Structure 1
Amino acid sequence: MIALPIVGVSAADLTLRSAELSTEQKLERVLGAADAKLTTGWVTGPLYQQPDGSDYAPVGGYENYHASSRTEDPNVLAAALPAGARSLKDSIGHAKVHTTHGLLDTQLRELDTHSPLVKGLLTLDRGRLPEKAGEVIATQSFLTDSGYFVGSTVTPRGSTASYKVVGAYELPDALKLSQLIAVPGSLLEPLEKTLTAAGNPGLRPEHSYLVKVGRDGFTWNMMKETNAKGVLVTSRAVWLDPPADSEVPLYRQESKNAYGSSSSMQATELAILATVVGLAMLEICLLAGPAFAVGARRSRRQLGLVGANGGDRRHIRAIVLSGGLVIGAASAVIGTVIGVALTFGLRPVLEAQIGSRFGDFDIRPLELLGIGLLAVLTGLLAAIAPAVTASRQTVLASLTGRRGVRRASRVLPVIGLVAIGGGVSIALFGTVSQMGSVVVAGGSALAELGIVALTPVLVGLFGRIGRWLPLSPRLALRDAVRNRGRTAPAVAAVLAAVAGTVAIATFQHSDDLQRRHEYVATLPFGTGLAQVTENSGHKEVPAVRQALARELPLAVRADVDRLVVGKPGCDSWSDEPGCGRAEIITPKDQRCPLWEAENGPASFTTEQQRTLRNDWRCEEDRLGVAVSTVVADEKLLTVLGVGDPAAAAALKSGKAVSFDKKIVKDGKVTLRLVTDNKAASALAEKNQDPPGEDKVLAAYQAPATAKGYGLHLVLPPATAKTAGLTTAPFGSYFTLDGKASSEQRQKLDGTLDTMGVETEVSIEEGYKANNSLVMLALAVFAGLVTIGAAGIATGLAQADAEADLKTLAAVGAPPRVRRTLSGFQCGVVALMGVVLGSAAGILPAVGLRLTARREAQSLYETGIAQGHIGKSELAPYVPISVPWETLGGLLVLVPLGAALLAALVTKSSGALARRAAG
């Protein structure tokens, strides 16, 4: 009981310390043998960064930075390299690679692995490093997932060249990453050229440079000079000797707290850690205490002899306490040794689980000694109550084996009631305080301790239902009530385990309901969209539609086309010359003033912003699709679940159907054919409409209940043709007759892949909870702890009541009575603990959810007050819901399982013994 938690704690300490890398080890995995690494961020122009490079911001802050004005210069990195420095280029892109199973998303990398700067970045497991074009090395994760091996040949999708795998390696910090490395210029560059020539999107690889400079390394002043050129730096010298906060421009521009963990978060972590350690010690004491008590009672004759030979109460207390001390010390040694051996033996499994290699097998003697002292202290604390009880027995009672009658404490229940009331009050106060989660946790822990203090009284109340039970459960319940000294701690231990499980399960179940409410469906449930990317061409779309109908159980298929402006092969947002788009022109009086003003929302006062946020013109669509204007017939309305007969009639009569009331005025909608995307984008930056030919079409505005799921306008095919609009096949919306199986989806993906066209197929399957596995793990954990605690209590009851069991056998009780009695003894303890624990676990979950509700409501009201959001935005929904299935499983299955397990492991008959001399 004591050694087992020590095994877990010591193993956890070793795992965490070994997985925690030193600064040098971190730098080796990031920089190799280089002094610094130069990269570019998503912002361009001068920037400020943290000394460790973990975060950055543009000079002047994001308020004065316009992301749309960023320009990517591929030579900015090379221009930022220090003069005279040795450098090594590292390029990374992503593509799909053909495997034995199909296609696998893989990271492709070009790096000179023979350079001394690479030392520490990767570890070669077997084979050799690539030496020429056509050779690659692969991570073990890629080989496992792809079904390949060293010596196999791999081909990236769209590539005309194949590559031989000449070695296997691992990235110490990313064991689960699928990656291929080739010599510079042999993989990414040829593949990008091939894809671009075929009209497919390029890889757009990310580049960085490993840099080796002079003896002093890459200094802080050099970093600031490089930041001025728009380049981020990770420097070994600065990591090891960071500058003072006053010397960091980023912290002068913005508070350092915005880039680090706040003191409240640290306090929360410490509170959680203290609570976990405290509850662990409490649970051990609750389980070990009765064991010491039973052991003291079984040794009462020896203790009585000590008293008969002149020993006083101090000696008896010292004997029992010494037993606790010895057991605690032995548990510390055994538990620590097993924990160390277990961690060492499971090191490969642990590394694979966390996806990273340990730095070292870091054994810290002082920490292990502290854990061992914790075991000694726990053993000592668990023996205090039995020692005091044993010392109070008279010598005559000890020698004759009479237990005497002890009155239940009248003070303990009062203390328990006060603790429950105080804990509930503190937890409720925490829901409105700044340190919400910490106060709620503290109040909940206090209330739980109060319930523990009330456990003996509550066990007595449970005993009153025994009069209506059959013989075996009645005997088990009365035995539990009569021997509350061992029953109450076991029930309290089960209570503690179940309370934590119920609290976490309730919190996660409520959070799951909130996420389900906030989930935004991209299409109606069971509806899908197959779309061919614009730059893949449109000739293959009919074949894609046929594959869709052949491989999936379709109910309705609505084929849609897109509008084309400019030369063939251009997508709607390409900046290439001759590429244009069809753009919906919103009437000026129906545009949101917040975005039309020169300085955007900053052009208005807070009150004006608040008013405009509630204007219907400023409502924003939460969904977006690649093409917002499509050409289709009324089947599309059926697939989208639009039940408005007038909308279908409008499409049949040649009218366009709009799902955005801002674009329709006087029953008309305006489409502008923009011939130059690049020029149009430049004008959009100045809030100016692009030039082009306007097409004014009759339109029907669908009711607000009709959802377009990102679509703004649907044009009938005949109207598009009459207006002289050029169209091209785009894809199909569809509804399924049932559900597509995994095999059907795989066949469809394989068929589409053979066509060599970029096709995205998505099916709306609704919100999927991601915590079902967590719930199951929590239920299993609570069950194991509950069965273990109840089993310990049953074992103690059998040891304590051995004489009664022998008496039952002597008077002729059937053999099955012994087994049935043990089962009910275990089940009674488990049931009482689960019932009380379920009630105790609700409080912290309710408190934490109320805290989350207050914070969400505060953010919502602040956003409205500052004009950042409008009242039309969804108000925060933070429900509190009990997971009745999990709770039902705990209340029914766990006690039942504990009872059956105890009955199975108990012998039906025991050996008869001679009656002890009176």
Structure 2
Amino acid sequence: MNGWFHSWRAAVRIARRDAWRSKGRSFLVLAMIALPILGVSAADLTLRSAELSPQERATRLLGAADARVSDPGYGGVPVQQSPDGQMTTPADKEYDTQPVPEGHIDVKKALPAGATLLEDTNGYGKLRTAHGLLHTGIRELKAADPLAEGILTPLDGRFPQRPDEVAASSRFLEESGLEIGGTLAARGLEREYRIVGSYEVPDDLRALQVNALPGAFLEPLRKGLEASGMAVPDISTEHLVKLPADGGHGFTWNMVQETNAKGAVVVSRAVLVDPPANADVPIFQREGYTPFDQSLSADKSALVAVATVVGLAMLEICLLAGPAFAVGARRSRRQLGLVGANGGDRRHIRAIVLAGGLVIGVAAAVVGTVLGLILTFVLQPVLEDSFGQRFGAFDVRPLELLGIGALAVLTGLLAAVVPAVTASRETVLASLTGRRGIRRSNRVLPVIGLVAALLGASIALYGSVFSDQFVIVAGGSALAELGVVAMTPALVGMFGRVGRWLPLSPRLALRDSVRNRGRTAPAVAAVLAAVAGTVAVATYATSEDAQLRAKYEAQLPYGAVSALTVEDGGRDVPAIREAVQRHVPVEVRADVARIAVGRAGCGPFSAEAGCGRSEVVIPKANECPLWAESAPPGTDPAERFSKEERRRLADDWRCRPGGGGYVPTVDGLLVADAALLKVLGVDDPAAEKALAEGRVVSFHKKQVDAAGRISLRVVTDAKAADEAVERNEPVPGEVKALPAYQVPDGTASYGVAGVLTPAAAEAAGLGTVPMGSYYSTDHLPGSEQRQRLDDDLAKVGSEVHLHVETGYDSENSIVLLALTVFAGLITIGAAGIATGLAQADAEADLKTLAAVGAPPRVRRTLSGFQCGVVAVMGVLLGTAAGVLPAIGLRLTERRQQERWYQEGRDAGWAGVADLPHVPIVIPWETFGALLVAVPLGAALLAALLTRSRTAVARRTAA
């Protein structure tokens, strides 16, 4: 035991001195191991700090209160809730099949006697800013009250103390152009408020919000909007509750359930900090209310994902750092030979090289962890702004950081294993004289690698074709990649056969790489590992991008613009049209209106007194049998049709869903002329002729009956109609039949169900209200044009539905570019290691070249080609290895979606008539960049960093 300790102590001392003597090489290896440790430790610190403790979450939600009580709007019937109050339902299960009662209660009566209450009311309004109007949240909370401390964080100034004062969130002040000390007003409200301070919402730093005293803003705003005939926003009120000083242990779970019995919902500090067991929560015992985050499968999937990422990261670091330790072992051959000459055996040689990995690993662990701490602390404000919320306390967990540091030490030791074994096998004579002797290639390892590659590919193929478990695909792909890594020495030898067709310098570089496979193979394997991961992600991302592009439903033709409003009876439509004409390169403008029923100012979805609507009546013959209105209420298609019938009906044109797009009306009908058809890209002379003849142009086949007419129901009382629908009774209203023309199937309508001219609407006795316009453009409006247009529309009193069709916008291009750059850096680093080792090994060859008259630039050229050769071989092998897991994953997803598709057809669901499109797309551009740009960059960088002249060598001591 004592001898073992002293031998390892000596080995560590020798390794430490050698590392200090070769600072450049040591720094390179240390950086390779420390950078991932830095990233992992920084991620751990960031996630732990961002993850709020139960007490911190309670403070941000409740301030200093014991609980927050709200009315769920169930009319006072007993309720059940989750401990955090996110899930609520009436306690009586009869409401699972019956309509839930509506109504409100006085929550004060549901609370214990002597409790202190503080109102917290939330609503929205359009506030006037320096630019126009801004849709903003309005919070009425006495934020200066000690009970609310922690909910809002003051930044500058103070919270309001008078009814005519407000404080504003910093984001609101930034967006609105207003400042502390200025005034603020709202649309529909005559009075003004003085801004006395700024604050932030810790859980939502991007919140556009103003804070006022209870009753000072929202109630006057509601009255003003009602008086002006404008829509009134929803307002919700909750109460912060502080129990008396003798309240015991706070608002306990038993007290929460007692309050639930009185019809109120409670979020309690005591329950958030110490939640009850799931078995003690009644709502969790009901079907469909089990929280997913407690699922074992979710934890298992997360654990598998983390283990896979960590394993691949360790493999890649070992492959990258292994050649560097081989460099150190080769440069220390004489020193290791002296150890053998003085009685040291192979285990001492292995111990010295392994100690080098231990020393570098410990240093990397310390440096990476310390830098991770510093980086996380410095970047915390930036990360908080990026995440949109403030972190909790700076959470340092020593055990987790020690585990991450141990990972660095283990990685350093694993990276030094192969160089240690190789160094220990050299004879003392060869180490002292520098002779290499005859080296034979290992014939067993390539065979094992080939078997592993074939077996892994078979497993991945099985997982993608016959199983839905991606873990099988990932495991098989990893095994196949390790097999390719094991075959790398043999594959490097095969690459050497192309050298006969190359010029002198690349031929020398390739032959040198083949002759010294011990240093070339690990570097190629490192490049392979880096490129394989990049290729796998790039292939999957490109394929998914193609799938999303195919699924994308354009709202309008490319470059077209729509600006619509349904407020205030179209009063602001002229101003909206003028703003669009001023900032958009308009080619064709199509003015549209909507059918209006009832008093002026009613919106298309309004259910207020005096308001009505129009709706298209689907003929009975055109109703989908699966979901026909005449079907018994509450019955499932599976109860009325067999599986074969449901499959057949899923393909029926009557059951196919409508196209994409959005028109803010109930029936999708627009009142317009032929210009709208031109903007929508409908090239159909028959449709233009039908409009001129006064017929309705229909885009939905289901709307037109056998006689070629569209039936339009005019509902004068929308509220009564809604009540009739709930009672499953006929909807009251006059039905008008209008002649129609059905456009050919497949014509894109972008949400428009039909078009009729103003003259046809007038002839049918239908009132109309201006709604806005559709525009085709000469070219897509730029960013500055959009900003100026948004600024002008913000000054319009009505809410405007603005859409500019820019087409499918892929975010994967940035991802692919980042992956390519990452792979390039890894490739250049790995190839650089191989180049450094090549220069150490080929020093004698370079001196021989210089002695026979080779120009000085040969050293630089040879160094560049050595680096480029390693990069090319690694990129080619990595590309082949990386495509496999991506294809396997896509095939697995294809099978899964096809199974869902078949299940949907069996159930007769709407919208499943088309077979899911899950393509496999190879990113040839990324492959080209990796194959051409990366090796070329690596070669040029190596050539530039290599001296073209070498110093005169001194005679090696015998």
TM-score bracket, shorter-length normalisation: over 0.9
Question: Aligned with 1:124: secondary structure?
Answer: strand
Query: Does the aligned pair in 2 maintain the 1:536–1:758 contact within 8 Å?
Result: no
Per-residue CA deviation, residues 580-601 of structure 1 (Å, 9 max, x unaligned), is 2223233334334423223144
Q: Aligned pair 1:717/2:748, yes or no?
A: no
Matched, 1:85 2:120: no
Matches of 1:839 and 1:267, distance apart in 2:
30
SS in 2 for 1:174: coil
Pairing 1:511-910 to 2, within 5 Å after superposition: 511-533=544-566, 535-593=567-625, 594=627, 595-602=629-636, 604-607=639-642, 612-623=649-660, 624-627=662-665, 628-665=668-705, 666-869=707-910, 873-910=913-950
1:164 aligns with 2:172: no
Deviations 1:269-310 (A, max 9, x none): 211211111122212221222222221121111222222222
SS at match of 2:439: coil
Partner of 2:276: 243
**Are 1:373 and 2:406 an aligned pair?**
yes
Residue 408 in 1 paired to residue 441 in 2?
yes
Moved more, 402-411 or 189-198: 189-198
- 1: CA distance between counterparts of 2:265 and 2:61? 14
Specify the alignment match of 1:469 in structure 2: 502
Residue 47 of structure 1: how far off its partner (Å): 4.6
The one-letter amino acid of 1:597's match is A
**Counterpart position of 1:16:** 47
**Residue type of the alignment partner of 2:214:** P
Structure 2 residue aligned with 1:266: 299
Q: Is the 8 A contact 1:601 1:609 kept in 2?
A: no
Rounded Cα–Cα distance in structure 2 between residues aligned with 1:394 and 1:253: 74
Distance 1:65 1:80 in 2: 27
1:635 is matched by which residue type in structure 2?
A: A
Between stretches 252-261 and 323-332, larger displacement belongs to 252-261
With over 3 angstroms needed to count, the CA separation of the structure-2 counterparts of 1:57 and 1:866, relative to structure 1, is: farther
Contact 1:49 1:56 in 2 (8 A): yes
Query: Do the aligned residues in 1 keep the contact of 2:649 with 2:655 (CA within 8 Å)?
Result: yes
1:915 equivalent to 2:952? Answer no
Counterpart residue type for residue 495 of structure 1: L
Report the Cα distance in structure 2 between the residues aligned to 1:312 and 1:151, rounded to whole angstroms. Answer: 82
- Superposed displacement of residue 430, structure 1: 2.3
Task: Confirm or deny: 8 A CA contact 1:511 1:879 kept in the other structure.
Answer: yes
Question: For residues 366-395 of structure 1, what are the alpha-carbon distances to aligned partners after superposition, in whole Å with 9 as ceiling and x for unaligned?
Answer: 222222222222222222222222222122
Distance 1:606 1:75 in 2: 45
The residue correspondences of 1:138-217 to structure 2 (distance < 5 A) are: 138-157=168-187, 159-213=189-243, 214-217=247-250
SS in 1 for 2:558: coil
Q: In the alignment, is the contact (CA less than 8 A) between 2:564 and 2:801 conserved in 1?
A: yes
- Report how far residue 917 of structure 1 moved: 4.8
Instruction: Report how many aligned residue pairs link the two structures.
Output: 914
Equivalent position of 1:3 in the other structure:
34
With over 3 angstroms needed to count, the CA separation of the structure-2 counterparts of 1:459 and 1:105, relative to structure 1, is farther
Contact 1:192 1:202 in 2 (8 A): yes
Tell me the secondary structure at the aligned position of residue 931 of structure 2.
Answer: helix
2:7 corresponds to which residue? none
Stretches of structure 1 that go unaligned for 5 or more consecutive residues are: none
**Can you list the C-alpha shifts for 1:626-657, whole angstroms capped at 9, x where unaligned?**
12222222222222222222221111112222
Instruction: Output the CA distance in 2 between the equivalents of 1:649 and 1:457.
Output: 75
Letter matched to residue 602 of structure 1: D
Match of 2:593, SS state, is: strand
RMSD: 2.7
Letter of the 1:55 counterpart? M
- The equivalent residue for 1:29 is 60
Q: Which residue of 2 aligns with 1:503?
A: 536
- Secondary structure at the aligned position of 2:570 is classed as coil
Q: Distance in 1 between matches of 2:494 and 2:215?
A: 80
Residues in 1 aligned to 2:752 and 2:93: alpha-carbon distance in whole angstroms: 35
**Aligned-partner Cα distance in 1 for 2:176–2:604:** 36
The answer for the alignment partner of 2:17 in structure 1 is: none
Between 380-389 and 394-403, report the one with greater CA deviation. 380-389
Indicate the residue corresponding to 2:27 in structure 1: none
Q: Distance in 2 between matches of 1:43 and 1:817?
A: 86
What whole-Å deviation, never above 9, does each CA across 1:588-621 have from its counterpart, x for those lacking one?
A: 3433442322314437435265555444433332
1:564 is matched by which residue type in structure 2?
A: A
Q: Does 1:291 align with 2:324?
A: yes
SS, match of residue 154 in structure 2? strand
Tell me whether 858-867 or 257-266 shows the greater mean CA deviation: 257-266
Deviation by residue 1:851-880 (Cα, 9 ceiling, x = unmatched): 111111111111222233476x22211111
How many angstroms apart in 2 are the aligned matches of 1:471 and 1:161?
Answer: 86
Structure 1 SS opposite 2:599: coil
User: Does the Cα contact within 8 Å between 1:87 and 1:210 map onto a contact in 2?
Assistant: yes
> 1:458 and 1:150, CA in 2 relative to 1: closer, same or farther beyond 3 A?
farther
- Contact 2:696–2:741 (8 Å) recurs in 1: yes
Deviation at 1:462, TM superposition (A): 1.7
Shift of 1:111: 0.9
Q: Distance in 1 between matches of 2:829 and 2:107?
A: 61
- 1:92: Cα distance to partner? 2.4
> Aligned AA for 1:789?
A
The answer to whether the 8 Å contact 1:51/1:248 transfers is yes
TM-aligned CA deviation for residue 76 of structure 1: 6.1
Give the unaligned 5+ runs of structure 2.
Answer: 1-31
Residues 414-460 of structure 1 deviation map (CA, whole Å, 9 limit, x = unaligned): 11112112211222222256661222222211111111111111122
The 2-side partners of 1:852 and 1:157 are apart by 50
Task: Answer whether contact 2:160 2:213 (CA < 8 A) is retained.
Answer: yes
- Cα pair 1:431 1:440 within 8 Å, conserved: yes
Select which of 345, 348, 366 maps to 2:378: 345
Quote how far apart the aligned CAs of 1:88 are: 1.9
TM-score, structure 2 as length reference: 0.90
Is 2:539–2:883's contact at 8 Å kept on the other side of the alignment? yes
Over 3 Å counting, the alpha-carbon distance change for 1:619 and 1:232 in structure 2 is farther
* Gap change, CA 1:463 and 1:146, over 3 Å in 2: farther
Contact 1:558 1:635 in 2 (8 A): yes
Code of the residue aligned with 2:738 in structure 1: it is L
- Whether the 8 Å contact between 1:264 and 1:435 is mirrored in structure 2 is no
Cα pair 2:74 2:104 within 8 Å, conserved = no
1:60 and 1:707 mapped to 2: Cα distance? 47
Q: d(CA) in 2 for partners of 1:7 and 1:722?
A: 75
